[in-house]
Amino acid sequence: MKQVLESIENQFEMFQVLDENGEIVNKEHEPDLSDDDLKELMRRMVYTRVLDQRSIALNRQGRLGFYAPTAGQEASQLGSHYALEQEDFLLPAYRDVPQLIWQGLPLYQAFLFSRGHFHGNQFPEDVHGLSPQIIIGAQYTQTAGVALGLKKRGKQSVAVTYTGDGGTSQGDFYEGVNFAGAYNAPAIFFVQNNQFAISVPVEKQTNAKTLAQKAVAAGVEGYQVDGMDVLAVYAVTKKARERAVNGEGPTLIETVTYRYGPHTMAGDDPTRYRSDDLDNEWEKRDPLIRFRKYLEAKNLWSEEDENRVIEEAKEEIKAAIKKADDYPKQKVTDLIDIMHEELPSNLQEQMEEYREKESK
């Protein structure tokens, strides 16, 4: 009998294109992106970093609501999203609001989602996807369904979902990947391995050396990627998308990344489970720093560019918060009204009761 585990695990080497110093280390896989695309990717990362900083500040002022910080994960979130098309269907987790925003969800609606208003989840017609999933892993099985639906409809698009490292311990993770594999459905499953599921380190989630190798059991493709390297994440996603629309089945992608902030703004204190040394080590791998170096060497990015994006982001965030402030508050009667297509008799009675309560 052969020892297979080690030989499988050794094949999951982390894929990297751009190293910490902004040097291309894998010329063969450097994506064929135009200068405009490269600049746009940087713009999105800078903008999203500002959005994260402002969201944290707004949350602390009591002006936002539920918020899961994103800093550190920009390359994973935006590099993968940049490889998708407008027709693709997104099934994000709660930290993956940026992908929805860049897919076309207006900022003020993202803020309304945070504030607990359902208008935040009424997506524009050309944004295909679901609001961020709260139950860890539930989006994985739904992704198999959306992907099978896309296949049955004969569409050239993919279902793309995100979870974290903790999500790979859920039964739904295995079921979702396995279903998509069994139906050879066009799906991309992202695992943003940011090292901690709230406080539990990835080493305590599993004995598997990589999360990407979990693809093997389902008989689908799996890759482990440097999640701080936007070019690597883009390149792998692009390939996974091509495979999916060509009928070659689903792909599981693990991006190795880090969240600088707390799990959410609802009281998590990362100093209870992470050291400053570890934070510093990861901040050296920052996705923005290395991509900025890469672009500066190509004369594609300057301090002025950076400052312009920061100002632009701040202005737009301010305007979006204003718009969210002005949006009418959600009422219980609105909720009753949209539980079903037609009001059943029990809710008709309760509607009357709450109409009266809300009129006071």
Partner 1 sequence: MAQKTMIQAITDAMHHELKSDEDVLIFGEDVGQNGGVFRATEGLQDEFGEERVFDTPLAESGIGGLALGLALQGFRPVPEIQFIGFIYEAMDALNGQIARMRYRSGDSKSAPITVRTPFGGGVHTPELHADSLEGLIAQQPGFRVVVPSTPYDAKGLLISSIRNNDPVFFMEHMKLYRSFRGEVPDEEYTVELDKADVKRDGKDVTLIGYGAMVHTALKAAEELEQENIDAEVIDLRTISPIDTETIIESVKKTNRVVMIQEAQRQAGVAANVISEIQERAILHLEAPILRVTAPDTVYPFSQAEEVWLPNHKDVINKVYEVINF
**Is residue 148 close enough to count as binding partner 1 by CB under 8 A?**
yes
Shortest distance (Å) from residue 145 CB to partner 1: 2
Tell which one of 26, 53, 121, 206 touches partner 1 (CB under 8 A): 121
Considering the rule CB under 8 A, would residue 138 count as an interface residue with partner 1? yes
- β-bridge mates for residue 193, sequence order: 256
Contact characters 177-206, partner 1, x per CB under 8 A: -xx--x------------------------
Enumerate the active-site residues. Answer: 259, 263, 273
Footprint of partner 1 on residues 68-107 (CB under 8 A)? 89
Using the CB atoms, write b or e for 15-54: b if 16+ within 10 Å: bbbbbbebeeebeeeebebeeeebbebbbbbbbbbbbbbb
Q: Given candidates 175, 248, 268, 283, which one binds partner 1 under the rule CB under 8 A?
A: 175
Question: 48 in the Ramachandran plot: left (φ > 0), alpha (ψ -120 to 50) or beta?
Answer: alpha
Which window, 22-30, 149-157, 206-214, 267-275, contacts partner 1 (CB under 8 A)?
A: 149-157
Q: Residue from 96, 172, 226, 254 that binds partner 1 (CB under 8 A)?
A: 172
Placement of tokens 């609802």 in the chain: 266
Span near partner 1 by CB under 8 A; candidates 50-58, 168-176, 238-246, 262-270: 168-176
Q: For partner 1, which is the closer residue by CB, 133 or 195?
A: 133
Q: Is 111 in the site for partner 1 (CB under 8 A)?
A: no
| Minimum CB–partner distance for residue 122 and partner 1 (Å) | 4
Residues 6+ positions from 34 with CB-CB distance below 8 Å: none
**Torsion angles phi and psi, residue 327, rounded to 5:** -70, 135
Q: How far does CA 337 lie from the centroid of its chain?
A: 31
Task: Compute CA 83 distance to the chain's CA centroid, rounded to the nearest angstrom.
Answer: 13
Residues 9-38 that bind partner 1 (CB under 8 A): none
Cα end-to-end span (Å), the chain: 76
Note whether 140 and 163 are within 8 A (CB): yes
Q: In what order do the strands lie in the sheet with 251-256?
A: 89-91, 159-164, 187-193, 251-256, 221-226
Answer yes or no whether residue 152 interacts with partner 1 by CB under 8 A. Answer: yes
Give dist(CA 69, CA 51) in Å, integer.
Answer: 10
Of 23-31, 35-43, 69-77, 131-139, the segment contacting partner 1 by CB under 8 A is 131-139
- Where do contacts with partner 1 occur on this chain (CB under 8 A)? 89, 118-123, 130-131, 135, 138, 140-150, 152-153, 159, 171-172, 175-176, 178-179, 182, 335, 337-341, 344-347
